[in-house]
């Protein structure tokens, strides 16, 4: 079953005629993703790969193809408007891959969609994948995934791939993988995804990858302690980052003691999570916990 995506997911790609949008739309289609529409203003009436209709607006694409997931590949200045357009068209699930969206713009758009029946993944994220449904929305490499019963959630795209590669190498499949994004303001939090995995009957264990900056990991720890009955294996990266130094993601900057890796690890340990010592230990830790579960 997995979360967010399934066999009924019908994908439209905003920016499908651009370099990144076209590349990843092709990759998704090759994986098995049901891409039903593209949107590029001024390119309406064209066909992408001789089979996917391109529309001038999301509203028109939804009306004609019943698309229910939007994948956004547009430049940072236009990404907030692309999110708003998808939300206004009634698309219930939106993934924005774009990196570099201004924080003020994201604050505005998150507030705008807050009361709409919409879930936003990202921005600055790798997207999501359901290996069992052969559906991927974003930039995750499909060939490293294996259908199974471990849910993965991460702020880091690269570490998501590393986690999946280690799991697959050990024969441990994934129910779903979600990269929530590394920016200070994002649409979907760790807590949101943890609750979805807790409710998913096809997820037995959760691999959680956090990093320095902000307090999302502490909020997730509180959720794990109070609400999550499934085992959680947790990796927190950035322990050697100096205070005030941005490390990769816009959100990965230490702004106080609570943003440090040590505080996040302590919160996870107190919540009963299984701590993954280093990125090289993701697969081994998950395998050990699964072994304990029988």
Q: Which residues are catalytic?
A: 249
Indicate the burial class of 222 (C-beta count within 10 angstroms; 0-12, 13-18, 19 or more).
Answer: middle
Cα 227 to Cα 102: distance, rounded to the nearest angstrom: 33
Residue 258 CB coordination number (10 Å): 13
> Bridge partners of 132?
none
Listed in sequence order, the residues at least 6 apart from 268 whose beta carbon sits closer than 8 Å to its beta carbon are 208, 210, 217, 220, 221, 224, 232, 234, 236, 275
Q: How far is CA 289 from CA 63, 172, 200, 286, in A?
A: 46, 12, 19, 5
């Amino acid at each position: 079953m997995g979360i967010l995506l399934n066999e009924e997911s019908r994908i439209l790609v905003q920016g499908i005629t651009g370099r990144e949008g076209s590349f990843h739309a092709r990759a998704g289609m090759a994986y098995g993703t049901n891409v039903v529409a593209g949107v590029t203003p001024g390119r309406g009436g064209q066909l992408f790969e001789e089979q996917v209709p391109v529309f001038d607006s999301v509203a028109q694409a939804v009306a004609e193809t019943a698309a229910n997931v939007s994948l956004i590949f547009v430049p940072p200045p236009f990404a907030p408007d692309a999110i708003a357009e998808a939300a206004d068209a009634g698309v219930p699930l939106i993934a924005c891959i774009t990196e570099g969206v201004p924080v003020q713009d994201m604050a505005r758009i998150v507030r705008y969609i807050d009361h709409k029946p919409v879930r936003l993944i990202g921005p600055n994220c790798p997207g999501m994948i359901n290996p069992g449904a052969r559906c991927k929305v974003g930039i995750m490499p499909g060939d490293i995934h294996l259908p199974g019963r471990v849910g993965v959630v991460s702020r880091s795209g690269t570490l998501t791939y590393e986690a999946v590669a280690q799991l697959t190498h050990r024969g441990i499949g994934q129910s779903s993988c979600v990269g929530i994004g590394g920016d200070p303001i994002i649409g979907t939090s760790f807590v949101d995804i943890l609750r979805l995995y807790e409710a998913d009957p096809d997820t037995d264990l959760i691999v959680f990858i956090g990093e320095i900056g902000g307090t999302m990991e502490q909020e997730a720890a509180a959720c794990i302690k109070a609400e999550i009955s499934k085992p959680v294996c947790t990796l927190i990266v950035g322990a050697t980052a100096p205070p005030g130094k941005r490390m990769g993601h816009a959100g990965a900057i230490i702004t106080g003691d609570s943003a440090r890796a040590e505080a996040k690890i302590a919160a996870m340990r107190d919540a009963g999570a299984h701590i993954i010592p280093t990125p090289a230990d993701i697969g081994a830790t998950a395998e050990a916990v699964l072994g304990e579960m029988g």
